[in-house]
Amino acid sequence: MNISYEGSISFTQFINEQSEVVNPLPEWALVDKVLVHYYQQMVIARQFDNKAIALQRTGQLGTYASSAGCEAIDIVIASLMHKEDVLVPYYRNHAMQMVRGMKLSEILLYWGGDERGNSSPAQREDFPNCVPIATQCLHACGIASAIKIRNQQRATVSILGDGATSKGDFMEALNVAGVWQLPVVFIINNNQWAISVPRALQSIAPTLAQKALAAGIRGEQVDGNDVVALHQSVEQALQRAREGKGPTLIEAVSYRLSDHTTADDATRYRHPDALKMGWDKEPIKRLRNYLHGQGWWHESDETQWLQHSSALIQDAVDQYLDTPPQPVSSMFDYLYAELPLQLKKQREAAISRSEKEASS
Amino acid sequence: MNISYEGSISFTQFINEQSEVVNPLPEWALVDKVLVHYYQQMVIARQFDNKAIALQRTGQLGTYASSAGCEAIDIVIASLMHKEDVLVPYYRNHAMQMVRGMKLSEILLYWGGDERGNSSPAQREDFPNCVPIATQCLHACGIASAIKIRNQQRATVSILGDGATSKGDFMEALNVAGVWQLPVVFIINNNQWAISVPRALQSIAPTLAQKALAAGIRGEQVDGNDVVALHQSVEQALQRAREGKGPTLIEAVSYRLSDHTTADDATRYRHPDALKMGWDKEPIKRLRNYLHGQGWWHESDETQWLQHSSALIQDAVDQYLDTPPQPVSSMFDYLYAELPLQLKKQREAAISRSEKEASS
Amino acid sequence: MSGQEAICMVEAINLALHHAMRNDNDVIVLGEDVGTNGGVFRATVGLKENFGIKRVMDTPLAENMIAGLSIGMAAQGLKPIAEIQFMGFIFPAMEHIVCHAARLRNRTRGRLSCPLVIRAPYGGGIHAPEHHSESTEAIFAQIPGLRVVIPSSPQRAYGLLLSAIQNPDPVIFLEPKRIYRSQNQIVEDNGHTLPLDTCFTLREGNDISLISWGSMIKETLEAASLLAEEGIQCEVIDVATMNPLDRETILASVGKTGRCVIIQEAPLNCSVGSEIASILACEALLDLRAPIARVGGYDTVMPYFRLENQYMPQTDQIIDAAKRTMEFD
Amino acid sequence: MSGQEAICMVEAINLALHHAMRNDNDVIVLGEDVGTNGGVFRATVGLKENFGIKRVMDTPLAENMIAGLSIGMAAQGLKPIAEIQFMGFIFPAMEHIVCHAARLRNRTRGRLSCPLVIRAPYGGGIHAPEHHSESTEAIFAQIPGLRVVIPSSPQRAYGLLLSAIQNPDPVIFLEPKRIYRSQNQIVEDNGHTLPLDTCFTLREGNDISLISWGSMIKETLEAASLLAEEGIQCEVIDVATMNPLDRETILASVGKTGRCVIIQEAPLNCSVGSEIASILACEALLDLRAPIARVGGYDTVMPYFRLENQYMPQTDQIIDAAKRTMEFD
Ligand SMILES: Cc1ncc(C[n+]2csc(CCOP(=O)(O)OP(=O)(O)O)c2C)c(N)n1
Ligand SMILES: Cc1ncc(C[n+]2csc(CCOP(=O)(O)OP(=O)(O)O)c2C)c(N)n1
Ligand SMILES: [Mg+2]
Ligand SMILES: [Mg+2]
């Protein structure tokens, strides 16, 4: 018996849930700038989230997927991406989209049931939210293939949930990313739940990162509530991708602090103690305590920042609520580059039906 | 940085391609009985294969997928399976089907374009040949789930090609087999080719067995041309499955000695040297040399056995060629347990159309 | 649920699932969130508690896997009821449905079979996100070897689902989620089944046949009532089983009325409505006293929910179509 | 290939692929065995040698992956031509085709688009194994956002495929493999395209319209010739594009002839033929002087090849149907 393969997965953490430094910090994290920036962005994301849920509860928004608990993941990754890199998100990445430059009002538009929430100029070549689980991973590989074919120095980033790791798409994506050495970084937001199904029922494997081993690519686990760990891993993975050194899978271990979406009621399946443990580890408090300890962030900063972000968000909400709906014709106008004749007729019919309704 | 997971894959070989013993043989392999039996079965399989190809070349059989090169894999596994275990094959496992009790004439019927080749009484609960790549792996998991739900002591065996390991089905199957600890054994017949696509283009991973690591299950590599290595690994995996100890993935490293099927011409994409290396490693010659060396098999045995198997195969061919086609009504008779009215009418129409044709 | 108080469709489905699991140990339920959570629409609530996790399985997240597993289970004689959380997520399962579930019996000349039910909520109107509102029943209705069933009331949901579970072949059971909770009926939990090859005539009338199914039955019946006030007597047919289609009931009705409107939520192109119109054009041309009219979804992608009501067929469209058809001479 | 000697359909496809790759660096080809092997039907022969492995990619074995990759590539402005080895193996790709390829433009209000061609040989008649003989074009024809195209001659294959490649939206291009090599035509390699929304009238006639597509065009033209000998002048229409359907040509022809037979290899139920019959029943009822007749595959699974000729529609069935339709008064 010979050993024909050996592989392993590491776990990285710098700042633990008691906000203690457990590994020597990298240079950039020895000064306030980046960490404070991450903190500020996370706060906006959390506030935006609360606002969106409130809007949904009052019938002003559709079903909404909270990002509470994955702010660190989203903010750090999106911050490290270059403009010309491509983001291929799933449906829980508003915070990424915000950092990528989408207006908060545009993000609300999406969750308000309006396709224009996918057509922000700031999205450039980024993909829109992806609802069919794990399919985005293959789109990312296609984008990365195009980048490779054209010899560009860009990275593609795809993010998915722990549940999504069970779907063939994800594993096919890892495999082709490996064999074609594609410039792509896969991030698992392992928030421990796929709606009501706990992580343990998705796979018996102790880590999700080890799925990389199947594909012969780099895989690692990081503390998804620790911005420093995230930054270190993601930065390196992005750089490798841009330099043509191949793909990376990063499992970011987090916890879903909210219901799955506003259509869900997690108390049906989740013990309050589990949720409490999640809150003990969450990224914002952890970083705030650390920043406080370093003297980089004070109560007064907090108050000011909360005010600033509230105003920002309220503006976005106003803008969202003031956006008139798309015309009925929009159901047809983007289906094909050139609308077939029969659909032109249906388009006319739809318009006159809505005019009739409006006038009656 | 901590290590959160480590895994490895072993490679097992007992009798190498020079027919030398490279690891201490297990007890059962120290006497002639089982090895001679394996040898004899492999010879029948190879002869059957040659005959089937000849039939195809003369228009008496449809497209045929040769088993040349995977006889050891098929014969050993099927021999170790219990009658009440369930086989879920792909399309290259005639030798397994033969050992499981199917008549060679029934096997020919399948390749002659007749569904009755899937309805041998000997197949019991075994699945028929599976053409859509890798889908059989999930059927095996379903069967294994039923076995587990019913607390039975049976194993399910599913086999697939190296190309098939790239398809989501396979990876989804490994994953659910792991998380539900299903009584299933997956065997990869890694014959180095998926039609024209070489193994290296399927995955950058050095082994295919390491796909097991993704799912957190046992995985190993064996020499698929070495009946002893196969026997040892498969026996253990089957036993574990029957005892409720969970699934195993075995990558059996072999070489496809033939064209992909009779519809293929491998000279278009395969270098003759590569093929020659395949023939150097092939299982039948390797075992024959070993048996000769042990004095367990002589030229006279060979001559006699070839005669015996030729006769056997010729009988099967005669029986196959004598089998009248199914009636036209058979297109309808098995579609539903109870045929819907409209299909009854179509059935009548088909019958009268064929009667009309027959009489004209 | 005692069966004595009026219940809604999703409760009737839950009742039928309980009934089937109680009466047949081979019936099992699997899918995403069907266990502890009781299904995102609560259709499987209570099953895990009553029948245990061996028979009510929360699966990993992979529809292809759910279908493939179910086929293996069914071949072993279990009767799996697989839930696809929304019909928009059934596509990963297509290969297993088309190539295996629908063919296992035929392929093995009856040696193996596939007594499988795949349940999926379908259709729009609940302001759901993208992919949660499609009506793609026609894709499945055309697959030889499947049955495709759509209930339109709590009672029919109960009886049809029980039939589907008992049926020895694979059944795609599509649930119009918009009316999951919109109508209450007394549903006796008596195990009575309804046939899987028969249309239901919900209202008799001599002037015009309104042929519909699923969630559009509501609007169709409304239209029939309103038309009756104007003296037009509609016959309302609930197709209920898309495959095999009960041509006889449809032909008889149009034979009587000579006029017909087909109403569906799905886009029109290559749909079940196309097939019905085609049957009439081939087999009842002389009965037709007016062109067939069709009311359905536009042949475009279901818009995000802010415009979905502009997409979905409404009662007044049915009335208009029926009147135009009546005016024709 | 010089374009000056007569070539068969698969050669015409190869010619079009070469033309497109030569003239547009963004055109790439991917699939199983498309590179070194030149495709199992030789459709992609020579491409790898001429354009290199960066543009002609042998993929790992996973149709879902092929489709998903292609969408990402297309969104980046490449024009991927993905081969699905046989149409029977397209189902793993369904989710990406339906949920993404067909919707990317609509979903992003035109910000992203998906100029993708998926080629797949379809249909029976070559004595192939199971799953190698299906005709399931209707499943795709009904998906809003796709185009579905089927050529029926070498020249049309060339012109339609070039159009499909240039088209800014996803096109499912289905190749009737039974006639891949059965007919030779001079095909000028001049880059001329054919429209993707237009039926071709292959033969004019006043008595009856024979409407067909793909491999059945051969039998339909045969039937038309034989019927002409008996004095029945058929108009033969090659539908060519299943979606969007050119209703105008069909309506005009039946408007002229008043009689119609629809011929297809696919099963009848919920098919493109159903849609065509439905259009006639809704929009041309008064033109119809006889019931529509339909000739097609049975609504059962395509049998293994020993019986496949009993399954496939034959010329005499078309003749019978046309005669019955002519006799009707
Ligand atoms: C193919 C598919 N199947 C089912 C669903 C319904 N669904 C939406 S989210 C979800 C759970 C996803 O869990 P996970 O991947 O862990 O991501 P999370 O929402 O936890 O971030 C499910 C089952 C879907 N959107 N797509
Ligand atoms: C889903 C699917 N896609 C494509 C094919 C066509 N096809 C048949 S065999 C084959 C290659 C399979 O290679 P491998 O899995 O290595 O098995 P082998 O034939 O080498 O034993 C392909 C692509 C198929 N049968 N099913
Ligand atoms: Mg999750
Ligand atoms: Mg192989």
Angle in degrees, CA C33, C34, C40, rounded to 5: 65
H or E element, residue C163: helix C154-166
Q: Which ligand has the shortest distance to the CA of B131?
A: 2
Q: Which chains have 3+ CB pairs within 8 A of D?
A: A, B, C
- Co-location of D257 and D220 in the same domain: yes
SS3 A273: helix
Residue B1 — very low, low, confident or very high, per pLDDT cuts 50/70/90?
confident
Exposed e or buried b for every residue in A167-200, given b needs 16+ CB within 10 A? bbbbbbbbbbbbbbbbbbbbbbbbbbbbbbbbbe
Verify whether the Cβ–Cβ distance C109 to B116 is below 8 Å.
yes
Q: Which amino acid is at C154?
A: P
Question: How is residue B322 written in tokens?
Answer: 């004598």
Nearest-Cα residue of chain A relative to residue B203: A179
Q: Which amino acid is at A358?
A: A
Contact in structure between B209 and B219 (CB atoms under 8 Å): yes
Q: Is A201 in the pocket of ligand 1 (CB under 6 A)?
A: no
H or E element, residue C28: strand C27-31
Q: Which chains have 3+ CB pairs within 8 A of B?
A: A, C, D
Contact in structure between D296 and D267 (CB atoms under 8 Å): yes
- Between the CA of C263 and the centroid of ligand 2 the distance, in Å, is 43
- Co-location of D103 and D158 in the same domain: yes
Q: Which chains have 3+ CB pairs within 8 A of C?
A: A, B, D
- Co-location of D177 and D245 in the same domain: no
Q: For A205-229, what is each residue's pLDDT tens digit?
A: 999 999 999 999 999 999 999 999 9
Q: Is A195 in the pocket of ligand 1 (CB under 6 A)?
A: yes
Give Cβ neighbours of residue C307 (< 8 Å, ≥ 6 apart): A113, A325, A326, A328, A330, A331
* Mean pLDDT for chain A overall: 98
Q: Is B161 in the pocket of ligand 2 (CB under 6 A)?
A: yes
SS3 B249: strand
Q: Tell whether C195 is covered by a domain.
A: no
Nearest-Cα residue of chain A relative to residue C57: A201
Give how far D316 is from chain B: nearest CA, Å.
10
pLDDT at position C93, please?
Answer: 98
The verdict on B113 touching C (C-beta cutoff 8 Å) is no
Q: Tell whether D307 is covered by a domain.
A: yes
Structural domains in chain A, CATH included, are: 11-326 (3.40.50.970), 328-360 (no CATH)
- Between the CA of B274 and the centroid of ligand 1 the distance, in Å, is 46
- Between the CA of B193 and the centroid of ligand 4 the distance, in Å, is 4
Of the residues D131, D153, D186, which one is the last residue of a structural domain? D186
Give the mean pLDDT of D272-301. Answer: 97
- How far is residue A141's CA from residue A143's CA, in Å, rounded to a whole number? 5
The verdict on B352 touching D (C-beta cutoff 8 Å) is no
pLDDT at position C3, please?
Answer: 46
| Smallest CA separation from ligand 2 atom 17, residue | B161
Question: How is residue A233 written in tokens?
Answer: 């891993």
Verify whether the Cβ–Cβ distance C301 to A335 is below 8 Å.
yes
Most C CBs within 10 Å, among B138, B175, B344, to test the C interface:
B138
- Between the CA of A290 and the centroid of ligand 3 the distance, in Å, is 27
Q: For A102-118, what is each residue's pLDDT tens digit?
A: 999 999 999 999 999 99
3-state secondary structure chain D: CCCCCEECHHHHHHHHHHHHHHHCCCEEEEECCCCCCCCCCCCCCCHHHHHCCCCEEECCCCHHHHHHHHHHHHHCCCEEEEECCCHHHCHHHHHHHHHHHCCHHHHCCCCCCCCCEEEEEECCCCCCCCCCCCCCHHHHHCCCCCEEECCCCHHHHHHHHHHHHHCCCCEEEEEEHHHCCCCCEECCCCCCCCCCCCCEEEECCCCEEEEECCCHHHHHHHHHHHHHHCCCCEEEEECCEEECCCHHHHHHHHHHHCCEEEEEEEECCCCHHHHHHHHHHHHCHHHCCCCCEEEEECCCCCCCHHHHHHHCCCHHHHHHHHHHHHHCC
Verify whether the Cβ–Cβ distance C142 to D139 is below 8 Å.
yes
Contact in structure between B119 and B47 (CB atoms under 8 Å): no
Of the residues C141, C157, C186, which one is the last residue of a structural domain? C186
Q: Tell whether D1 is covered by a domain.
A: no
Give how far B301 is from chain D: nearest CA, Å.
38
Residue with tokens 């600890």, as numbered in its chain = B181
- Co-location of D52 and D174 in the same domain: yes
What is the DSSP code (8-state) at residue A218? E
pLDDT at position A208, please?
Answer: 98
- Between the CA of C88 and the centroid of ligand 1 the distance, in Å, is 12
Q: Could you tell me the strand order of the sheet in which D171-176 lies? A: D56-58, D27-31, D79-83, D117-122, D171-176, D147-149, D241-243
Give how far C100 is from chain B: nearest CA, Å.
9
> Angle at which helices B168-179 and C63-75 pack, to 10 degrees?
70
pLDDT at C2 over 60: no
Q: Give the closest residue to C163 by CA, choosing from C192, C205, C127.
A: C192
Q: Tell whether C193 is covered by a domain.
A: no
**B256 is a catalytic site residue:** yes
Q: For B84-104, what is each residue's pLDDT tens digit?
A: 999 999 999 999 999 999 999
Q: Which ligand has the shortest distance to the CA of D37?
A: 2
Q: For C302-327, what is each residue's pLDDT tens digit?
A: 999 999 999 999 999 999 999 999 99
By most ligand atoms within 8 Å of CB, the mutation choice from C61, C63, C118, C132 for ligand 1 is: C61
Q: Tell whether C264 is covered by a domain.
A: yes
Contact in structure between B231 and B76 (CB atoms under 8 Å): yes
Q: Give the closest residue to A171 by CA, choosing from D124, C51, D38, B170.
A: B170
- How far is residue D63's CA from residue D86's CA, in Å, rounded to a whole number? 11
Give Cβ neighbours of residue B3 (< 8 Å, ≥ 6 apart): A8, A9, A10, A11
Give the mean pLDDT of B189-212. Answer: 98
The verdict on A118 touching D (C-beta cutoff 8 Å) is yes
- Co-location of C227 and C170 in the same domain: no
| Smallest CA separation from ligand 1 atom 13, residue | A194
pLDDT at position A360, please?
Answer: 78
- How far is residue D297's CA from residue D267's CA, in Å, rounded to a whole number? 4
User: Which residues in chain C touch residue D280, judged by CB atoms under 8 angstroms apart?
Assistant: 281
The number of beta carbons lying within 10 Å of the beta carbon of residue D230 is: 10
Most A CBs within 10 Å, among D76, D143, D283, to test the A interface:
D76
pLDDT at A278 over 50: yes
Angle in degrees, CA B354, B355, B358, rounded to 5: 85
The number of beta carbons lying within 10 Å of the beta carbon of residue B344 is: 12
Q: What is the CATH number of the domain that holds C77?
A: 3.40.50.970
- Co-location of D15 and D117 in the same domain: yes
- How far is residue D54's CA from residue D44's CA, in Å, rounded to a whole number? 15
Q: Is A131 in the pocket of ligand 1 (CB under 6 A)?
A: yes
Which residue intervals of chain A are DSSP H helices? 32-57, 71-80, 94-99, 104-111, 135-149, 168-179, 211-215, 227-242, 272-281, 283-294, 299-322, 330-333, 341-359
Give the mean pLDDT of A343-356. Answer: 96
User: Which residues in chain A touch residue D74, judged by CB atoms under 8 angstroms apart?
Assistant: 142
Q: Give phi and psi for C236, each to the nearest 5.
A: -110, 120
Nearest-Cα residue of chain B relative to residue D38: B268
pLDDT at position D222, please?
Answer: 98
SS3 C261: strand
Residue D1 — very low, low, confident or very high, per pLDDT cuts 50/70/90?
very low
User: Which residues in chain C touch residue B135, judged by CB atoms under 8 angstroms apart?
Assistant: 68, 95-96, 99-100
Distances (CA, A) of D286 to D281, D282, D325: 9, 10, 16
pLDDT at position B360, please?
Answer: 78
pLDDT at position C111, please?
Answer: 98
The total number of structural domains in chain C stands at 2
pLDDT at B201 over 60: yes
Task: Provide the residue range defining the domain that includes D251.
Answer: 200-327
pLDDT at D2 over 70: no
Q: Is B51 in the pocket of ligand 2 (CB under 6 A)?
A: no
**B269 is a catalytic site residue:** yes
Q: Is D99 in the pocket of ligand 2 (CB under 6 A)?
A: no
The verdict on A349 touching D (C-beta cutoff 8 Å) is no
- Co-location of C145 and C236 in the same domain: no
Q: For D314-329, what is each residue's pLDDT tens digit?
A: 999 999 999 999 999 8
Q: Which amino acid is at C317?
A: Q
Q: Tell whether C24 is covered by a domain.
A: yes
Taking the model in full, what pTM does it have? 0.98
The number of beta carbons lying within 10 Å of the beta carbon of residue A272 is: 9
Nearest-atom number in ligand 1 for the CA of C61 is: 23
Question: How is residue D280 written in tokens?
Answer: 């006639």
- The alpha carbons of chain D give a radius of gyration, in whole angstroms, of 20
Cβ–Cβ pairs < 8 A, chains B and D: 107
- Co-location of C239 and C105 in the same domain: no
Question: How is residue D273 written in tokens?
Answer: 């033929």
pLDDT at position A56, please?
Answer: 98
pLDDT at C1 over 50: no
Give how far C282 is from chain A: nearest CA, Å.
24
CA A79 to chain centre: 12
* Mean pLDDT for chain B overall: 98
Give the mean pLDDT of A155-181. Answer: 98
User: Which residues in chain C touch residue B132, judged by CB atoms under 8 angstroms apart?
Assistant: 95, 99-100
Q: What is the CATH number of the domain that holds D296?
A: 3.40.50.920
- Co-location of D139 and D218 in the same domain: no
- How far is residue A147's CA from residue B103's CA, in Å, rounded to a whole number? 54
pLDDT at B357 over 90: no
Q: Give phi and psi for A207, each to the nearest 5.
A: -125, 160
Verify whether the Cβ–Cβ distance B139 to C64 is below 8 Å.
no
Verify whether the Cβ–Cβ distance C89 to A326 is below 8 Å.
no
Distances (CA, A) of D40 to B55, B264, C287, D55, D121: 22, 8, 51, 18, 10
- Co-location of C208 and C262 in the same domain: yes
Give how far D325 is from chain A: nearest CA, Å.
29
Verify whether the Cβ–Cβ distance D98 to C91 is below 8 Å.
yes
Q: Which chains have 3+ CB pairs within 8 A of A?
A: B, C, D
Nearest-Cα residue of chain D relative to residue C144: D300
pLDDT at position C329, please?
Answer: 80
Give the mean pLDDT of D264-270. Answer: 97
Reported ipTM: 0.98
pLDDT at position A359, please?
Answer: 87
Verify whether the Cβ–Cβ distance D64 to C267 is below 8 Å.
no
Contact in structure between C219 and C264 (CB atoms under 8 Å): no
Q: Give the closest residue to D205 by CA, choosing from D183, D185, D221.
A: D221
Contact in structure between A96 and A45 (CB atoms under 8 Å): no
H or E element, residue C57: strand C56-58
Contact in structure between A136 and A188 (CB atoms under 8 Å): no
- Co-location of C164 and C241 in the same domain: no
Q: For D139-191, what is each residue's pLDDT tens digit?
A: 999 999 999 999 999 999 999 999 999 999 999 999 999 999 999 999 999 99
Q: Is A69 in the pocket of ligand 1 (CB under 6 A)?
A: no
Peptide bond into C291 cis (omega under 30): no
Q: Is A92 in the pocket of ligand 1 (CB under 6 A)?
A: yes
- Co-location of C163 and C224 in the same domain: no
pLDDT at B229 over 50: yes
Of the residues D129, D162, D186, which one is the last residue of a structural domain? D186
- Between the CA of A192 and the centroid of ligand 3 the distance, in Å, is 5
SS3 C256: helix
